[in-house]
Amino acid sequence: MEDWRLSDPDFTQFEPRTVQEAILRFRRMQRKGLSAWRYPECFVECARNLPAVEVAKFEKWLVNPNGEDKHAITVQEFQALPVYQRNRPVEDEKQDTLPEPSAKESVGEHL
């Protein structure tokens, strides 16, 4: 394929060779009205012939298109925060559950 065809914003009939081209093709397909139900197929189609390194980049983009936040904390760091810590022991949680019904519901005709 000749790269000059990529200048056309509606051109989607190309085989991506880099993660940039895979993202470009997916976004163009999206703009053309690709149904959300077909996204997984389109992801596979866009990444089909990419090298493994490029596929890994494409997967990272799929999970987080805006990139990782440098100020974000990990789950472990979040769970270590004092606000996240439980105020009472696990045994007390049993009191929070609903009691079992004492009698079974009667079976009868409904309206």
Higher-pLDDT residue of 68 and 20 is 20
Of the pLDDT bands very low, low, confident and very high (cuts 50, 70, 90), residue 3 is confident
Place of tokens 């270590």: 80
pLDDT digits (tens, 9 = 90+) for 21-58: 999 999 999 999 999 999 999 999 999 999 999 999 99
Length of the chain in terms of residues written: 111
* DSSP per-residue codes, 21-69: HHHHHHHHHHHTT--GGGHHHHHHHHHTTS-HHHHHHHHHHHH-TT---
pLDDT digits (tens, 9 = 90+) for 87-109: 655 555 566 667 676 666 666 67
Max Cα–Cα distance, the chain, nearest Å: 76
Residues 80 and 68: their CA atoms lie apart, in Å, by 21
Task: Enter the pTM of the model.
Answer: 0.65
